[in-house]
Amino acid sequence: MEVTRIIHPIGQGAFYTESIKTNDNLYNVVYDCGSGNHKYTPKRLKQDIASFYNPDDVIDLLFISHFDNDHINGIRELKKRTSNIRNIVVPLIEENDFWYYQIENPSFETFYRSLSEIADSAVYRVKPYNEDEEENNIPINDVAPIILSENVRVDKKVSCTTKFALAPHIDWCYITFNYDQQIRLTKLQNELAIQGITEDILKQGWGIMEQHLKEIKQAYKRVAKDGANNSSLIVYSGGMYNDYNCRRHKIRQPNCNCFGRFEFLESEGCLYLGDTDLNQPKLLDTLINRLNLVIDRISTIQIPHHGAYKNFNPNIMMLNANWQDFFVSFGNTNSYGHPSVKVVSTITRQSNLFAITENRDSVYIQIIKKR
């Protein structure tokens, strides 16, 4: 088995792919597919999708971390340029909470409801973490994986830490983690209620919400601070049992000693973080506890939210004892100041940091093989 992991250079967004090649099959996995703040797919992302996939390629598994346009506006283009998208995994958003996500993205509800049309097989909606639920206390080793090669046609809710396997015989899995942000939602509802904007008003849809948009956005900024992306779906990618060589390939980057001693990473595991706020109470401790049996496999970590200071927690660098590669996706001319200079400085003191921009030579590629 050989895995090719690519962090694509598409600017202010995210488009991360893995191709798993076995003796019999080729499996394609994607984590997020978007760039820029607008609804439509940017030209740069369109070019990357078209040049990377053939019309007869199948996307076996698509993870969507959250629903900001810069993470989803390339998905319909991805579907158009490939044979089909079989399975989609997203954070579960209950209908009562749709209003919250429409503040950031007015077309959220339409997109979220259309997922079963985009997926040719299954949509899995990952429930938020709840420590009181028995399923969230089962050791990862004992969690039975969902085997995606079975091509079951479903649209269902699944556990916070669900394990996905491409086929029964492959030691390569994806483990999800969706952290609960109900506390933030409740705070926002209370803030809005003070201004006379009740839950009933919010549930009437975007047309009614628009009439109160100024007050809603002001309250939203006070409570949510950095947006709804605090609920990003975290995904572990890697093996469970075998040992792997993970080699960097075709890298032209400052801030790292890419070859020589560090040509090979210590392990194959990658942690995709989307736009997660790593400073949420207990998030890192809970994540480490749930991924405890694979935590030492992680040597590649995405810096969340394009390197925003508010989302970064330096404790992520102490996840394990491995030498780690961090990567951050951002646009060279973005207006947000991403990535934060403080984040860059903190990471480069003791790890490699790969800056993935719209420049083609910033692409980051790993080739992973069983030892």
pLDDT of residue 183: 63
Interacting residues of 68 by C-beta distance below 8 A, sequence separation 6+: 34, 104, 105, 227, 228, 229, 275
Domains in the chain: how many in total?
1
| pLDDT over 90 at 323, yes or no | no
Query: Closest by alpha carbon to 181, among 24, 66, 337?
Result: 66
pLDDT in the model for residue 49: 97
Tell me whether residue 92 is in a domain.
Answer: yes
pLDDT of the residue at 230: 57
pLDDT at 213 over 90: no
Average pLDDT on 166-175 reads 94
Q: Is residue 189 part of a domain?
A: no
Predicted pLDDT of residue 184: 67
Q: CA 1, 163, 284, 339: dihedral to nearest 10 degrees?
A: 50
- In this prediction, residue 260 carries a pLDDT of 33
The alpha carbon of residue 108 and the mean position of all alpha carbons in its chain are separated, in whole angstroms, by 17
205 has a pLDDT exceeding 80: no
Q: Is there a contact between 326 and 210 (Cβ–Cβ < 8 Å)?
A: no
CA 86/CA 316 separation, integer angstroms? 32
* Band of pLDDT at residue 150, cut at 50, 70 and 90: confident
Residue 196, domain member (yes or no): no
Sign of CA dihedral 30, 229, 43, 303: negative
Candidate from 3-17, 19-33, 71-85, 219-233 with smallest mean pLDDT = 219-233
pLDDT at 126 over 80: yes
Predicted confidence (pLDDT) at residue 254 exceeds the cutoff of 60: no
Average pLDDT over residues 160-177: 95
pLDDT at residue 259, as a whole number: 36
The residue type of 79 is K
With respect to residue 142, please indicate whether it lies within any of the assigned structural domains: yes
Q: What is the DSSP letter of 348?
A: H
Contact 323, 351 (CB under 8 A): yes
What's the chain's average pLDDT? 88
Say if 195 falls within a structural domain: no
Which domain CATH number covers 323? 3.60.15.10
End-to-end CA distance of the chain: 10
pLDDT of residue 253: 53
Residue 258 pLDDT > 50, yes or no?
no
Domain ranges, residue 251: 2-182+224-370
Give me the mean pLDDT over the 175-202 stretch: 79
Lowest mean pLDDT among 225-234, 277-286, 333-342: 225-234
The overall longest dimension of the chain from CA atoms, in Å, is 63
Grade residue 261 by pLDDT with cuts at 50, 70 and 90. very low
Is the pLDDT at 101 greater than 80? The verdict is yes
Judge whether 112 lies within some domain. Answer: yes
What pLDDT score does 257 carry? Answer: 42
Average pLDDT over residues 16-22: 97
pLDDT digits (tens, 9 = 90+) for 172-183: 999 999 986 666
Span 25-48, average pLDDT: 91
pLDDT at 303: 97
Check pLDDT > 80 for residue 112.
yes
Q: What is the pTM of this model?
A: 0.92
- Is pLDDT larger for residue 340 or for residue 224? 340
Judge whether 200 lies within some domain. no
In a domain, 178, yes or no: yes
